[in-house]
Amino acid sequence: MRFPIFKSKVEEATQSFNLMTPEGRQAYFEAKAGPGIEKLREYLKENTFVAYLLGKKNSGKGTYSKMFAEVIAPNRVEHFSIGDMIRGVDEELADPGRKKELMNFLEKEYRGWASLPEITSALEKRNTRTLLPTELILALVKREIGRREKKALFIDGFPRGMDQISYSLFFRDLIGYREDPDIFILIDLPEAVIDERIKYRRVCPECQTPRNLKLHTTKEVGYDEKKKEFYLICDNTGCPASAAGGQGAKMISKEGDESGIKPIRERLDMDAELMQKAISLHGIPKIILRNAVPVEGAEKIVDDYEITPEYSYEWDEKNKKVKVIEKPWIIKDDEGVPSYSLLPPPVLLSLIKQMVEILHL
């Protein structure tokens, strides 16, 4: 599956923007898609939509939907993660009172082939490889939607299996969004991007702030002279380690991250199959997002500041200081073509412009 390349470079926007700050992103989007943004804001005053986010694990589904809300209308757009919902159900099952309320709801709303005791067992014994019955997911989502004010929804995590594709086509009827358009948003990015996002990610052991040694560095970087290893120092001002004015905690990698995408190979293959199936469906509009552009000819397609930077480090022995080196991140796409990985804003720019077209604004 070869996704089309979106040109984010526009003649009208000649200045550079800091895409790492909310203010810089707002200025960027207003410069490159101002009229479209105004149309979407006006639309969302009275209308909503349901968008299903489809992409491989770590493809940025949550990032794009949350940034869309940030740029367009924070009070009218919501990101809804099926995974977060299920984790919330886990907490309910651990509390006797809340578990009883959940069971009472399912007795009234759940319709499926598995019995309620079997469903309860599936919830309590599930693992990341086991998909819960679609009928259960539908009932739980219906409950979750009922708790929320009616807003435009980005649903992350559904459809998850091949059988759920057909369910999603009628999903808006089940959740009360009968008059609103539903849309598939398909996100494509090279597996090399996912691999390095996993291998180099770091987290603060004190506050759980995430960063990436190669792709999202911190203000301060340390060096272990014995191990000859560079490490990130947490720069979250709210971190307990730096609350008293001291240095932030040394960020660490999670167990298994060094294996990259190997442990999730089966999941990635399933996600690819799911997207291939979804893109061939008729009757539902599709937004196609692509994270990478070929290096050759990239200067005509994107601006330099839209390319994801890669960070490497050198140890200055004389001054006992880490030197940070920044350059454009080049990876090979799934067909072996040297490519630049893009920052989220230019990908979201494509989403905004396609959304305006699909909604006929």
Task: Provide the CB-side half-sphere exposure for 161 (13 A, CA).
Answer: 10
Name the percent of the chain in helix, strand, coil, to the closest 5.
Answer: 40, 20, 40
**What is the C-alpha separation between 53 and 281, in angstroms, rounded?**
15
Model confidence pLDDT, tens digit, residues 253-272:
988 899 999 998 988 888 88
The helix (run of H) or strand (run of E) holding residue 17 is none
The number of beta carbons lying within 10 Å of the beta carbon of residue 107 is: 9
The 3-state DSSP class for residue 28 equals: helix
**What is the C-alpha separation between 200 and 193, in angstroms, rounded?**
11
Q: Cα Rg for the chain, rounded, in angstroms?
A: 22
Q: Residue 222 burial (CB < 10 Å; 0-12/13-18/19+)?
A: middle
* Phi-psi sector, 67: left (phi>0), alpha (psi -120 to 50), beta: alpha
Residues near 128 by Cβ (< 8 Å), separated by ≥ 6? none
Domain boundaries, the chain: 22-76+151-358
With a cut of 50, which residues of the chain have pLDDT below it? none
Query: Which option is the CATH number for 22-76+151-358: 3.40.50, 3.30.1460, 3.30.70, 1.10.287?
Result: 3.40.50
Residue pair 205/304 in contact by the 8 Å Cβ criterion: no
pTM: 0.86
**What is the C-alpha separation between 248 and 254, in angstroms, rounded?**
18
What pLDDT sits at residue 173? 67
DSSP 307: B
Model confidence pLDDT, tens digit, residues 218-265:
999 999 999 999 999 998 888 887 766 667 889 999 888 999 999 989
Strands (E), 8-86: 50-55, 77-81
The two tokens of residue 57 are 């694990």
What pLDDT sits at residue 145? 80
